[in-house]
Structure formats: structure tokens, C-alpha cells
Amino acid sequence: MMGQPVPQRVSPTTQPHRGVEGEAPAALPLEGATRAPPIAEKPVTKHPPEVPMTPGSTGLVLEEPLLCELSRPGRQSCSLPHANDVPTRAPEATLPAALLRQTPAALPEISEADLVRHFTRLSSWNYCKDAGFFPLGSCTMKHNPRTNEAVAALPGFAYLHPYQDSGTAQGALALIAALEEALKAISGMEAISTCPAAGSHGELTGLMVIRAYLQDRGDPRSRVLIPDSAHGTNPASAAICGYRVTQIPSGPDGLLEPSTVANAMSDDVAAIMVTNPNTLGIFERNIREICDIVHARGGLVYCDGANLNALMGIAQIGEMGVDVMHFNLHKTFTTPHGGGGPGAGPIGVRQPLAPYLPIPRVVKTAAGYGWDASAPKSIGRIKAFYGNFGMLVRAYTYIREMGAPGLRHASEYAVLNANYIRAQLTASYHLPYATPALHECVLTDKWQQPGGVKTLDIAKRLMDYGFHPPTIYFPLLVAGAMMIEPTETESKESCDQFIAAMRAIAKEAQHTPATLTEAPHHTFRRRLDEVMAARSPILTWHQLKG
């Protein structure tokens, strides 16, 4: 396989990226409109990548006016039917005078065709999973099967109303109950709540459950231990839950050592939060011993199970001695999670903690499925209604479609892909931890730094090759980290293309470092001034006026 040519894709010589050399004119300013000041760009030099680029690299590359600039008086994108049977009432007759506008809101007036084109063009400026390889470590950007979408769009699911009588939503409740059972089987946990709306929300909910349980036991505690290899949301969730956070170091091999936990444990520690596999992609193989140490001192163990994509069908977190965990349905179970869209972060607990789970809970009685909101020890509601139901439908569809063997295969391929990339790149990039890893690999810029090239430059240059960059500068315990998570849905060919690009970039770092430090060269926007963007953000079009 090595030495084989990289499969041909769009070549920069046959299909130049417009905008790179100024051949595509920016859209003309509209008469009377106030345009955004042009973003200062560096003079462009073309640095053709040394391996073919992927088609996911860029979309349309013309400048795009703002909606307010496209606006023309009298245009509209919707036509509402005239309601003959509803009497007309003047606003003054309905609203208090103080709430009435003196002048109409200056909303953009735009036709449907222009509106659709505007957003379609904008969407093409984004890199998306459906366009190409997206190795964003810790995010599990795997393919979202279209079957999930088809099932979630079934009218019986899509048109449900949360206030609907549960007698008319039996299928939906049955699905939630079946998903709970599936998550129990996958994790080995004993009770599930699908209410939390994201992984971090699951963390907060899980910690609230732990707190309620400990308080009920008459043993409220104040501290949470979190290793430096945990996901960044863990300390944030613990702090929001009102706990003091103590960070504990992982060992030289990236593993949390039982002796470190034993030394940090005391009677005020409510819980330890362990991400497993951790943010280095390494399985915390001492987890059983760590659980025993924490339990012996009266604490509980929380597992951040968002990286379950490495374990499904292979190992059960509940079997490891963990008390509470969360799942990221939008990572492991193929529900979409681009653009911060709705996620789902169900939690699983051991039976003694089940009474504290959020309400409502799905219950089955002789009369059928229903909601139980009566649990007296529950932490209460943590979200309106019952979780992001559409995500639950997608995840359940995926689980049923894959079956137990399919889930196991998915994890095996996720681990195989990550290890393949790691093995192919360790001659070009520094590997900070040689410990075997699972679903992602972490490399650094240590070998490129002496030539003046940093992780950020490598990430920017990858965009020229048509790839979404990996997660960079995370995990924090690795200087100059590049965290690569290919996931199982990438073919060997796309892994090979990525490997070829990364190797070519390592060569460029050696021979022509400026190619990297000035990258990207082939994107619509060149490198942005991130300090300016952070210090003086322009957040509304009003600020662009004048």
C-alpha cells in the first residue's frame, strides 16, 4: 500500500481555486448599500500542494453580500394565505401602546430565490462531513447514515407534540424505552435517562445525581478529582455543579495511576471524573483499581463515556466499577452534530443512584407506556420535555441497523483507522505518548518547531490540501498537540490521502517553511487576524456601517 499513488482527485492545475489569484471578481457592491470593509488579505502566492487535493476543499468563492445589502423594498420570500375567517384587529387594539413600534422594523426584504441562494452559497463556505475527511479529534465526526434521517422524518415521529397525551404517542415512548435498554446493554449500566441535551449537560446531570445521592446518605462532599487527561468540559461541569475541582496528573505513559488517585483521595471527595478512553486516545486500564480506591473512601466514580466509539460491543463501562456515565449520542451513535445543533447526552447509573435520575421517566404499566414524574428523590427536570427526541430516534435507528456485531465492528475499525494513521505518521511527526491508543492519535509539532513551523501552521496548510484540520492544542497536557480522530467511516483511501498530505506538509516544513507559516493559500479567506477577531469582534451589520 505504501508507495502507491494517491488516488486522483481534483487537481489544482486542472481546476484552479477561484479567488486564489484574483481571477474571480468580488461581487459588485450594490447601489446605495453599505458594504463591509474589505478584509485585508496578503498578496497571494500560489503554492500548489504536492498531492492531489480533495473535492471537499472549497465551495463557491465569490464574495457574498449581507442580507441587508441584498434587501430591496417590496420583495418578500413568503406568501401567507388570507385568513377570511379570522377577524382583523388593529395592533393598537391588542397591544399596550408602549410596545407598539413607531416605525416598522428594518428587516431585510428579499425574494425566496435570493434567500435560498444566499444561504446555499454561505453553506458552501463551510467544510462539512459530507464534503470530505474531518479528523477533528475528540469530536467523532463520523458519517451520519441517511436511514436515521428517513426514520426521524416519519410523520409519526416528526409531528409529535410534547404536550400530546401519552396515549397517542405510544410508539415514541416505546422507542425511548427501547433506547434505554439498548444503552444499558451497550454500557452495562443499570438505569438510563435520555433527558440531557448534550455531553456536558449529561456531565452536569450526572454530578447532580451524585450530589443528591451523597446528600441523601448524609455525607455531602465538596471536591471532585479530575485527571489532566480528561475532557475539558469535565472541570467546567463540576464547577457549575458547585464542586471544587482538584486536577490530578496522569503518569508518563498517559495513564492515570492508582497511587496518584489514592494520594489525592480524602473524605471530602465526592467523585472522580475519568474520561475513558482519555483525551490521548488511551484506555485507562487501571480503572477497576481506581474505582476500588475511590469507593473505599466513600466517593463515586463518574466516567465520561463520550469516547465510547472505541469500546462499543467490546467493553462495558458499567463492568469497570463506574457509578455514573454519559453517552454522546451525537458522537458515538451517528446523530449529526455540526454547527452546535441539537445533541443528546443520556446518562447511565448504577441501581442505587436510579431514584435520583431526572424526571420524567418512561414507565410501562398494564395500560401501556407513560411518563412518571413522581419520583420523590429525583433531581427534578433538567430540560424542557423529554430530551432531544429526534436525536433519540436517530441513535436508536443506528443501533438497530448495526446490531451488536455491527457496533463492535464500528469500534474495531475506528481503532484500526486511528492506529493506521498513527503508524504512518510517526516518522514525520513527534508522538508524545508511545502507549498503545484506541480511536484517536495525538501528534505534535516538536520536530517542526525548530524550523519556525507550529501546529497552527500545519493545520492551516491542511486546508490547502482539502482537509478539515484535526483538533489542535488539545489535550492541554501536550504542547502543540494535533489530535486526529478519523473514525470508522473513513475508507483506507481517504486515510491514505490524509497521510500523504501530512507527510507532504512535513516536507514543506523542512524545505519551504514560509509555505506553511503563510497558509492557507487556496481557501476563500486567507489566514485571519485571530487576535483582532477576538478583541474587536464585529457582531452585527450595524457595526459595518459608515
Ligand X SMILES: Cc1ncc(COP(=O)(O)O)c(C=O)c1O
Number of residues that bind ligand X (CB under 6 A): 15
Q: Which residue from 175, 306, 379, 477 is in contact with ligand X, where contact means CB under 6 A?
A: 306
Distance CA 328, CA 16 (A): 40
Q: Which residues contact 419 (CB under 8 A, 6 or more apart)?
A: 436, 437, 441
- Residue 419 sits in the site that holds ligand X (CB under 6 A): no
**What is the DSSP secondary structure assignment for residue 35, as one 8-state letter?**
P
- Residue 309 sits in the site that holds ligand X (CB under 6 A): no
Q: Which residue from 19, 135, 199, 235 is in contact with ligand X, where contact means CB under 6 A?
A: 199
Name the residue nearer to ligand X (CB basis): 440 or 496. Answer: 440
Name the residue nearer to ligand X (CB basis): 327 or 524. Answer: 327
Q: Which residue from 64, 69, 284, 304 is in contact with ligand X, where contact means CB under 6 A?
A: 304
- In the numeric block, which cell numbers belong to residue 154? 416519519
Task: Please list every residue from 212 through 231 that binds ligand X, using CB under 6 A.
Answer: 231
Q: Are strands 191-193 and 347-349 parallel, antiparallel or unpaired?
A: antiparallel
The order of strands in the sheet holding 324-326 is 191-193, 347-349, 324-326, 300-304, 269-275, 223-227, 244-248
Number of C-beta neighbours around residue 264 at 10 A: 18
Which of these segments, 36-44, 62-70, 93-101, 196-204, binds ligand X (CB under 6 A)?
196-204
Residues 12/48, Cβ–Cβ less than 8 Å: yes
The order of strands in the sheet holding 441-444 is 441-444, 481-484, 471-472
Distance CA 327, CA 347 (A): 6
- Residue type (1 letter), 343: G
Q: Minimum CB separation from ligand X for residue 207, in Å?
A: 13
Q: Minimum CB separation from ligand X for residue 326, in Å?
A: 7
Name the residue nearer to ligand X (CB basis): 69 or 485. Answer: 485
Q: Minimum CB separation from ligand X for residue 195, in Å?
A: 14
Distance CA 186, CA 83 (A): 52
Binding mask 7-46 for ligand X (x = CB under 6 A): ----------------------------------------
- Residue 187 sits in the site that holds ligand X (CB under 6 A): no
Binding mask 126-145 for ligand X (x = CB under 6 A): ------------xx------
Q: Which residue from 58, 144, 307, 388 is in contact with ligand X, where contact means CB under 6 A?
A: 307
Q: Minimum CB separation from ligand X for residue 155, in Å?
A: 28
Q: Which residue from 54, 144, 193, 328 is in contact with ligand X, where contact means CB under 6 A?
A: 328
- In the numeric block, which cell numbers belong to residue 10? 481534483
Distance CA 48, CA 519 (A): 11
Query: Nearest Cα to 313, choosing from 475, 188, 447?
Result: 188
- In the numeric block, which cell numbers belong to residue 287? 480503572
Q: Minimum CB separation from ligand X for residue 451, in Å?
A: 32
Element at 532 (helix H, strand E): helix 530-535
Q: Minimum CB separation from ligand X for residue 439, in Å?
A: 11
Q: Bridge-partner residues for 365, per DSSP?
A: 368
- Residue type (1 letter), 145: P
Binding mask 79-108 for ligand X (x = CB under 6 A): ------------------------------
DSSP 311-362: TTTT--GGGGT-SEEE--HHHHT----GGG------EEE-GGGGGGSPSPEE
Query: Nearest Cα to 324, choosing from 346, 306, 350, 289?
Result: 350
- Residue 233 sits in the site that holds ligand X (CB under 6 A): yes
Name the residue nearer to ligand X (CB basis): 51 or 198. Answer: 198
Which of these segments, 255-263, 304-312, 375-383, 385-393, binds ligand X (CB under 6 A)?
304-312
Name the residue nearer to ligand X (CB basis): 53 or 317. Answer: 317
Strands, E, within 13-63: which ranges?
none
- Residue 281 sits in the site that holds ligand X (CB under 6 A): no
Task: Please list every residue from 329 through 348 that binds ligand X, using CB under 6 A.
Answer: 331, 343, 345
Residues that bind ligand X (CB under 6 A): 138-139, 198-200, 231, 233, 275, 304, 306-307, 328, 331, 343, 345
